[in-house]
A = this chain, B = another copy of it.
Amino acid sequence: MHIMIIGAAGMIGRGLADRLAQAGEIGGEPITKFTLVDVVPPAAPDTAGAEVECITADLSEAEAAPRLIKGRPDTIFHLAAIVSSDAEANFEKGYRINLDGTRHLFEAIRLEGEISAYRPRVVFTSSLAVFGQPLPDIIPDDFVLAPLSSYGTQKAICELLLADYSRRGFLDGVALRLPTICVRPGKPNKAASGFYSSIIREPLAGQEAVLPVARDLRHWFASPRSAVGALIHAGSIDLASLGARRSLNLPGVSATVGDQIEALRRAAGDAAVDLIRQEEDPAVLEIVSSWPRAFTAERASGLGFTAESSMDEIIRVHIEDERGEAAE
């Protein structure tokens, strides 16, 4: 199998490349080649024998996609996008990269298939941002797409394109609406969602974290390990049962900030919790309080997608994967 990861330099892209390189196979088929693509040079993972090609390319440039697709990858993970705040601040850039870039990719695949039969698996990372208020407490699989951001609009449009290109037989696509990743490794960032990770990550490292919202705020989470696992699962399974609806709400953990804090207390004691300083920020609250709180995720669960079952498990995964403490 020839695997292509577009957006390979990002947090999830790197984790995906590493995990696949380690496994050496996907869906029981040996991986013979990795093509890793990003706008900045992606790092090559350690592979046991598989060829690795690292390419710097920008899908929003119309000539990039046909060049990438000429190599006829069997499975394409398309993770490349600019983030929500960037797409909101820069209208044209958001549509150019998040919409036109993806459309160039799908078109390159379709046109390659006109030369001779070609129908790759395409796993596309979508987002909970395709949903917007008013929202039910638990969002069903057939809930309306009504984004409240340009980023969410671009993701929703790409989902619709993916479904139509799949229905027409040009590619075999699936869009995964990933839960908010928790605990995100690395340093605190400026994303509105950043605190969901930093109130766990920083106290576990003995550092202070700021909590800008009240403890009853509820949201939907999965670990980086689960997110990478979902992508690989989506690249491995038979998608025929999806029919024309190619977008999946993924399983996750519905937890309040209070649930997060109590899980942190069970993992690391009162001293860790005492490092969380509450400092309400109405601007952050306004953004995150409109986000989904829970999903039924029935279709994805039925297809074997899984996530952690509790915030305790999410914290345990973080400690194992990022702090390496399970081995100590």
Contacts and interface: CB of A to CB of B under 8 A. Distances in A.
Interface in A77-108: 91
Interface stretch (A65-73, A144-152, A188-196): A144-152
A143 B245 CA distance: 13
A49 to B, nearest CB: 40
A132 B167 CA distance: 12
A163 B145 CA distance: 11
A109 to B, nearest CB: 13
**Residue among A163, A164, A244 with the highest chain B CB neighbour number at 10 A:** A164
Contacts of A141: 144
Contacts of A150: 164, 168
A156 interface: yes
A157 interface: yes
Copies of this protein chain in the complex: 2
A75 interface: no
A146 B244 contact: yes
A153 B164 contact: yes
A297 B165 CA distance: 30
Give the most central of A145, A147, A168: most B CB within 10 Å.
Answer: A145
Given A157-B160, A157-B161, A168-B91, A143 B142 contact: yes
A25 to B, nearest CB: 33
A153 B145 CA distance: 13
A150 B170 CA distance: 13
Interface string A153-197: 100110011011001100000000000000000000000000000
Given A153-B160, A160-B156, A161-B157, A146 B245 contact: yes
Contacts of A145: 144-145, 160
A134 to B, nearest CB: 8
A167 B164 CA distance: 26
Given A142-B143, A145-B160, A150-B168, 16 more contacts: A132-B245, A141-B144, A143-B144, A145-B145, A146-B244, A146-B245, A147-B160, A147-B163, A147-B164, A147-B244, A148-B244, A153-B160, A153-B161, A153-B163, A153-B164, A157-B160
24 contacts: A91-B168, A132-B245, A141-B144, A142-B143, A142-B144, A144-B245, A145-B145, A145-B160, A146-B163, A146-B244, A146-B245, A147-B163, A147-B164, A147-B244, A148-B167, A150-B164, A153-B160, A153-B161, A153-B163, A153-B164, A157-B157, A157-B160, A157-B161, A160-B160
